[in-house]
């Protein structure tokens, strides 16, 4: 028989166990979404690869950075790819040629997205953002 919701658990009067259980469920869901996102990215990279050779691991990381930057700026890279594949290819090409990979990763990790200072895609991204 289930305990009444208003009656506190004698072993967990503050509801910490329930909160931890909810948090663990959220973390599990986040991990599953991350796995789906990574799988989708791999599929997109494979579909977008030109020629018989596939992208190098470094190129894949750079393109993931582009996608993460776009998402941090509320741009949907998949929608842009469907709507305007040429623009997305131009962004990817510029990203692959970029020499600021470490700075890009730091900015994305910090959540600062100070891309206009160094990103070769700054003008294209700003155009997509309507700025």
- Sign of the Cα pseudo-torsion (100, 102, 105, 106, in order): negative
83: in domain: yes
Q: Would you state the pLDDT for residue 76?
A: 92
9: in domain: no
33: in domain: no
64: in domain: yes
7: in domain: no
pLDDT in tens, 35-70: 666 666 666 665 555 443 455 666 666 788 888 889
For the chain, what is the domain count? 1
18: in domain: no
Q: Would you state the pLDDT for residue 87?
A: 92
Q: Would you state the pLDDT for residue 1?
A: 44
Range of the domain at 117: 57-131
Q: Two tokens at 14?
A: 């503050």
Greatest CA span in the chain, whole angstroms? 65
103: in domain: yes
Is pLDDT of 113 > 60? yes
Contact 124, 94 (CB under 8 A): yes
Which CB contacts under 8 angstroms, 24+ apart, belong to 76-81?
78/40, 78/44, 80/128, 81/44, 81/48
Q: Would you state the pLDDT for residue 62?
A: 72
Cα–Cα distance measured from residue 127 to residue 56, given in angstroms and rounded to the nearest whole number: 29
CA atoms within 13 A on the CB side of 120: 14
Q: Would you state the pLDDT for residue 112?
A: 78
Contact 54, 63 (CB under 8 A): no
* Residues paired with residue 12 on neighbouring β-strands, in sequence order: 9
47: in domain: no
């Amino acid at each position: 028989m289930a305990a009444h919701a208003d009656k506190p658990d004698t072993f967990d009067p503050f509801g910490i166990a329930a909160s931890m259980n909810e948090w663990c469920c959220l973390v599990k869901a986040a991990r599953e979404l991350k796995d789906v996102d990574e799988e989708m990215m791999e599929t997109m990279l494979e579909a977008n690869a030109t020629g018989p050779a596939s992208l190098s691991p470094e190129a894949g990381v750079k393109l993931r950075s582009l996608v993460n930057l776009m998402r941090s700026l509320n741009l949907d890279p998949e929608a842009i790819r469907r709507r305007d594949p040429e623009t997305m290819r131009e962004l990817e090409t510029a990203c692959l040629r970029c020499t600021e990979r470490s700075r890009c990763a730091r900015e994305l990790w910090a959540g600062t997205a100070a891309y206009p200072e160094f990103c070769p895609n700054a003008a294209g991204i700003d155009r997509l953002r309507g700025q």
